[in-house]
């Protein structure tokens, strides 16, 4: 049985997700811890749960979502994985960190790319990658049919959508991505967003003003 935990990190209150199953093998989605205290909390949480961190995947690569990537790569030996279209954001992360007063080590790039409709193994379970560009060019969501949830990053929030005024953002593309790639999932699917509380696909179809007004 697949399980998911939500950990909230850094001044942007990013939701970092841990996904695992009965094997205790675990993936981290968007490792965003920044301070020494947050890093210790992350490591202690994994240890207390008895999990073995075997991989890291990102929904997208805005600086607030990748602050813990380097540590996960070095400390746990997990390659940095994201969509190839996020490479420019990765390269610009130190500069963007300076803008927000964050010290970000230069990245060597994305170690392994993730394509649309890729199957990602979590122990005996799987996640399906879904390309949802618009918030950023290579934004991905990760869907677990067995678990009945989708991790949407900053594409879709409870009652809102991701901002599109940053470089690479495209409002019309984001609305199209959400409508054709996410809202087609079962309505009971739980939505785990990059920030804020969870929702469901059904709720967003009927209540999200950005989606109802664009029908």
29-76 pLDDT, tens per residue? 999 999 999 999 999 999 999 999 999 999 999 999 999 999 999 999
pLDDT at 215: 52
Answer yes or no: are the C-beta atoms of 26 and 54 closer than 8 Å: yes
Evaluate the CA torsion angle 55, 84, 31, 132 in order and state its sign: negative
Domain range spanning residue 19? 3-212
Q: What is the pLDDT of residues 73-128, one digit of tens each?
A: 999 999 999 999 999 999 999 999 999 899 898 888 999 999 999 999 999 999 99
Answer yes or no: are the C-beta atoms of 158 and 198 closer than 8 Å: yes
Q: What is the mean pLDDT of the chain?
A: 96
Closest CA relative to residue 152, chosen from 199, 120, 111, 187: 199
Q: Can you give the pTM of this predicted structure?
A: 0.97
- CATH for 79: 3.60.15.10
37-51, 98-112, 162-176, 193-207 — which is least confidently predicted? 98-112
Task: Give the chain's domain count.
Answer: 1
């Amino acid at each position: 049985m697949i399980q998911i935990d939500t950990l909230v990190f850094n001044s942007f209150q990013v939701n970092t997700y841990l996904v695992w199953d009965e094997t205790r093998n675990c993936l981290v989605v968007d490792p965003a811890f920044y301070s020494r205290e947050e890093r210790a909390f992350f490591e202690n949480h994994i240890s207390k749960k008895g999990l073995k961190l075997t991989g890291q995947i990102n929904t997208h690569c805005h600086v607030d979502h990748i602050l813990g990537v380097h540590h996960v790569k070095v400390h746990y030996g997990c390659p940095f994985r994201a969509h190839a279209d996020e490479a420019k954001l990765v390269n610009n992360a130190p500069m963007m960190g300076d803008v927000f007063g964050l010290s970000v080590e230069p990245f060597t790039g994305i170690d392994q790319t993730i394509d649309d409709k890729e199957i990602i193994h979590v122990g005996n379970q799987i996640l399906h990658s879904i390309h949802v560009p618009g918030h950023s060019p290579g934004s991905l969501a990760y869907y677990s049919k067995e678990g009945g949830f989708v991790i949407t990053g900053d594409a879709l929030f409870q009652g809102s959508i991701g901002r599109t005024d940053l470089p690479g953002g495209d409002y019309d593309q984001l609305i199209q991505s959400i409508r054709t790639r996410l809202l087609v999932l079962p309505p009971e699917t739980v939505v785990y967003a990059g920030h804020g509380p969870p929702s469901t696909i059904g709720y967003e179809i009927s209540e999200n003003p950005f989606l109802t007004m664009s029908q």
